[in-house]
Every structure is written in structure tokens, then in C-alpha cells.
Amino acid sequence: MKREEKASISIMKIICVSIIFILISGISVMAVNTDLKDITIVLQNGYEMTTVTSKNKVSDILNENNIILNENQKTIPNVDSEISSGDIIKITDKSYNEIQIAKISDEGIETSLNQLMESYAPITEKIVVEQVAIPYETITKNTTGATADTTNKVIQEGKDGLKEVTYKVKYQNDIEIEKTVISEVVVQEPVNKIVQVQKKVTSRSLTLPRTTGTSTTGGTVYKITAYCPCSKCCGKTNGRTASGTKATAGRTVAASSKFAFGTKLNIGGHVYTVEDRGGAINGNKIDIFVNSHAEALQWGVRYLNVSVVN
């Protein structure tokens, strides 16, 4: 029995070795019969990868390497082409490649696929941040209505603002071919220029009514100034005098209490009525009423003969 068992074991060993030998031989034959190829794949960003494959079709090789083209990409050679060992699959920008081929064809140049690939220039993208001025606007305020005799006065000077603009810029052969705005951030708001259109003050506008057929008695030189109904001159803007009347240019003056309300005064040849008082109006000082602050400034300070009209 022992001899029979030993014989059986020896036969089993021989069978196993034979099977292993047959399998190894089959694998070797398959490897020899399989056409393995070294293929280089160049991605659009310039990255190169080398792969060993038994596939012949470009699309199959891309799938094998988990490479998916987007809608703007294509391959050279195209995805339906079959390639050989040592060939290159280049992933390119679809629109650019078509333009390049059309340009070469129009010029009548006969070229090979490899020459076309060599002439291809990749497109690079950069994020660029630039500071851009925001122009100020000029606002005009007309305070005179339809009056033709006007002058412009700058109330506020203008100043440009500033913003940061982020662009996505595409370059080809270091030349900018496309520029797209991604975002804008205002760093400083612009300051608008404000121009006020106002009535031009002339010597004629300060011409006051003359008296006619009125006699005067006496005469003393007074310091004559002018005021208007603004808050700077009066501290109020309602235009009411201390006597209760409405202040009127060419008629109303403010004088000290030595002149009763209603007293007629001839000032430099023009007749006015005392209708107002003032904290700074005392002694030989009289303030005549005018329509605007500009007229008051234009008048300034004058020393004129003043007399009571009988």
C-alpha cells in the first residue's frame, strides 16, 4: 500500500507541473501575440504622460487612461484615428487648431500632421487685478431760473474714485487674445463736482431808486453796510423786519433807535424807510436791505451823507 500511495503522489506532482508549464507557455504566447505600444499623451496644459497599451484607437486609449475631453477640446490625431507605437496624442483647443489648419491650407503650404502639431501654440490663462479710475460727474444747480445774465461758481471740486477689477486674461505666444471681467470692487467712491449757476452781480443790480421832488434837512456822514434775508446776515430767513413789515430791497434800512420806525432817510441821494433794527446797528451806522448775500458782499462798506426827509 505504501508503494502505491507514493506512486500516486508522484503522478499528481507530474500532472501539476505539466499544467503550470502549459499555463506559462500560453501566457508567453499571448504576450508575444499582443501588440503592446508606447504612446505619449500631451494634455492641453502641457503635461505629458506615457502609457503602454494594446489599444489602437485614440478614443479607446483615452478611455483606458480615464481622460475625458470637454466640448472645447479635440485630439491630434482625431479620436477615431488608429495609431502606432511611438505616436503622440495631443489634446488641443478645438477652435484654435481649426484656425491654424485653415490658415496653413489657405497659404497653399503642404505640411504633415507633425508639422501642424509643432506650429500649435498653447493658450494660457492668468488672473490679473487692475486698479481703474471711476470718473466723477459734474452736477449743475441752477438757482436763477431762465435768467440769461449768469455766472458759474464751483461749490465742490470733483475727484475720481477708484475700483479694483479682476480679469481672466488669455495669452497665446505671450500676446493677449481675450480679456474677461470676473469681478469689480469699489475701493473709493468718486466725489461729484458741483457747479452753481447764479445771477451775475453787476453795478447795475445795485442801482437804487432816486428820490424826486423831496426836500431834505441837515446831513451827516454815516457808515453804510448792506444785509440780506439769509441766516448769516440776520440769523433768520423769514424776511420779517423788527417793525413787522416784510423787508424790501430799495426801501428797507436798519438803523439805531435814534430813528423811529417809518422815518424816511436820504442816503447818498436815495430815499429809504427805517423798518428794522440790529444788534450791531448803533451810532452812525445804517444797514440797507438787498436781495442776496452776493449783493451784500458787493456793496461792502461805504461812507455816505445821510439826512432825514421832511
Cα torsion 182, 184, 185, 186 to 10°: value is 170
Mean pLDDT lowest among 31-45, 197-211, 296-310: 197-211
Say how many residues make up the chain. 310
Give the DSSP per-residue string, 132-201: EEEPPPEEEEE-STT-SSEEEEEEE--B-EEEEEEEEEEEETTEEEEEEEEEEEEEE--B-EEEEEEEPP
> pLDDT tens, 136-165?
888 877 665 555 566 777 878 888 999 999
Instruction: Note the pTM of the prediction, 2 decimals.
Output: 0.33
**The pLDDT of residue 272:** 94
